[in-house]
Amino acid sequence: MDQTRHQDRLIARATFGERPGDREQIRRVGAEAWLETALASLPRGDASLESRLARFPALAYGPADWLDAADLPDPATTGAERRPEALARLRGHSVRIAVQVAGARVVRAVHGSQGLREVMVDFWANHFSVDARKGIVGGLLPHYQREVLDRHALGRFEDLLLAVAKSPAMLFYLDNWSSTAAAGGPGGNDSEQRGRRPRTRGINENYARELMELHTLGIDGGYTQDDVISVARALTGWSLESRRSPVHRFHARLHDTGPKRVLGEPLTGEGEVEGENLLRRLARHPVTARHVSRKLVQRFVADTPPPALVEKAAARFVETEGDIPSVLRTILLAPELSDPKHRKLKTPLRLFASALRVSGGSTDGSEDALRTLARMGELPFFARTPAGFPETSERWIDPGAVLERMKLAFALARGVVPGARLGDEGLADAAVRGGGAPDGLLTTAVTLAAPEFQWC
């Protein structure tokens, strides 16, 4: 195994790009020690970042705080919350919060010294993707970022899965908050219910399906439509406290108490515990281990994951009951990582971040800066589908998309990207390594637009 190449690949893929001094650092300590340091990082352990994040006060919001800040008319007395203009104001406020959380993600990608943590936050944000455009999802993102992604990015998969399942953002995004036991079926006793009762009763399959298709087993994971229905029934009552307080709450009266079977086995536990047991079972399922490991190998190693490495990572996943750092060690220290034939295309976010990082540049994560990423199709938390942004290169390459990459290169070189500035380090070096081109601005632009800089 080529140690130098391995170390360079680690920096390139397990962070959002090389910064001045990174190579010297990893040469000194070696790949293993470098990785251990990266895996031991803490969610808010990056002091240099904190001042840059101060411009995003919404990061500290709880799921309900922002509703107070939205200064909405009180729906209890006026019913005005449903009025179109009030709803539009609510949604506008929600999206503005999302823009702050997305801005912070971009700042962290560019300026974070805990590169692997930022990359894993990005990975899980894609694996458990929510779209800030939908309803109040944007306003629930600060909680999702802090309490779900940051807290569990380098923890255990099972804890992460449960945190996602109980997060207001996912409960709202995939509609589980409104999934209830069928009227007249077992459970669903709403005699204690206060306030308005739902106009219709019954399950909503949206979350249950994506839970198995995307979050755990994978599309070929062997589940059936009957399993989707059983999972949805098991998770009935996993909802929100109220319209004014969108925090997770299990409503026993909306829960389907009938017996259920998933993947051929009866579910255990009652009430909320039934759903928790089911989520743990899905999290520990060997098919989930393979699905998640495959996605990790695809992110870090190759668009077409080497099967042997996927098996190795999946075995480690099962052995450690989904300990994410253990699985990452298996993948990131594997010889496959440094195989020159395994190239990974930089997605637009990584391209943007790596150009700023390699040159010692900066971004403020302002909405103007985000617009560049939105145009290139990768604004964090604004993926159109629950599958998140695409991972493989073929989904990012067409002549129009490559033209956007050229435009970014020229705009960065000319210093006209709002909210982002290249630094003056590193690029000359990168240019030499990439083959070189004549004179200043042009050299920089061509270096950033060159094929070599698009891959990592």
In the region spanning residues 242 to 301, those forming contacts with other proteins, defined by CB under 8 A, are none
By three-state DSSP, how is residue 432 classified? helix
How many residues are present in the chain? Answer: 456
Part of the chain binding other proteins (CB under 8 A), chosen from 44-52, 55-63, 104-112, 179-187 = 179-187
Instruction: Say which residues have a Cβ less than 8 Å from residue 226's Cβ, sequence separation at least 6.
Output: none
Of positions 51, 77, 191, 200, contacts other proteins by CB under 8 A? 200
Of positions 17, 202, 305, 380, contacts other proteins by CB under 8 A? 202
Q: Closest Cα partner for 253 from 210, 195, 209?
A: 195
Decide if residue 7 touches other proteins (CB under 8 A): no
Decide if residue 171 touches other proteins (CB under 8 A): no
- Restricted to residues 421-440, the positions that interact with other proteins (CB under 8 A) are 435, 437-438
**CA-CA distance, 218 to 291, in Å (whole number)?**
6
Confirm if 303 and 1 have CB atoms less than 8 A apart: no
Q: How far is the CB of 53 from other proteins (least distance, A)?
A: 17
Decide if residue 72 touches other proteins (CB under 8 A): no
Q: How far is the CB of 449 from other proteins (least distance, A)?
A: 6
Question: Alpha-carbon Rg of the chain, whole angstroms?
Answer: 23
The pair of three-digit structure tokens given for residue 264, joined into one six-digit string: 């051929």
Of positions 250, 393, 423, 428, contacts other proteins by CB under 8 A? 393
Q: Closest Cα partner for 67 from 245, 195, 249?
A: 245
Q: How far is the CB of 297 from other proteins (least distance, A)?
A: 15
Of positions 377, 380, 381, 456, contacts other proteins by CB under 8 A? 377
Q: How far is CA 452 from CA 110, 116, 254, 447, in A?
A: 20, 22, 56, 8
The pair of three-digit structure tokens given for residue 135, joined into one six-digit string: 């309803």
Write each residue from 204 to 243 as x if it is in contact with other proteins (CB under 8 A), else as -, in one continuous string: xxx--x---x-----x-----x--x-------x-------
By three-state DSSP, how is residue 426 classified? coil
Q: How many residues bind other proteins (CB under 8 A)?
A: 75
Q: How far is CA 81 from the centre of its chain?
A: 30
**CA-CA distance, 339 to 336, in Å (whole number)?**
5
Of positions 398, 424, 432, 433, contacts other proteins by CB under 8 A? 398
Q: Which helix (H) or strand (E) holds 262?
A: strand 261-262
Of positions 28, 194, 196, 199, contacts other proteins by CB under 8 A? 199
User: Cβ closer to other proteins: 99 or 297?
Assistant: 99
- Restricted to residues 82-121, the positions that interact with other proteins (CB under 8 A) are 91-92, 95-96, 99
- Restricted to residues 337-376, the positions that interact with other proteins (CB under 8 A) are 345, 366-368, 371, 374-376
Angle (nearest 5°) at CA 287 between 321 and 169: 75
194 CB neighbour count, 10 Å cutoff: 7
Of positions 15, 179, 239, 293, contacts other proteins by CB under 8 A? 179
Write each residue from 126 to 165 as x if it is in contact with other proteins (CB under 8 A), else as -, in one continuous string: ----------------------------------------
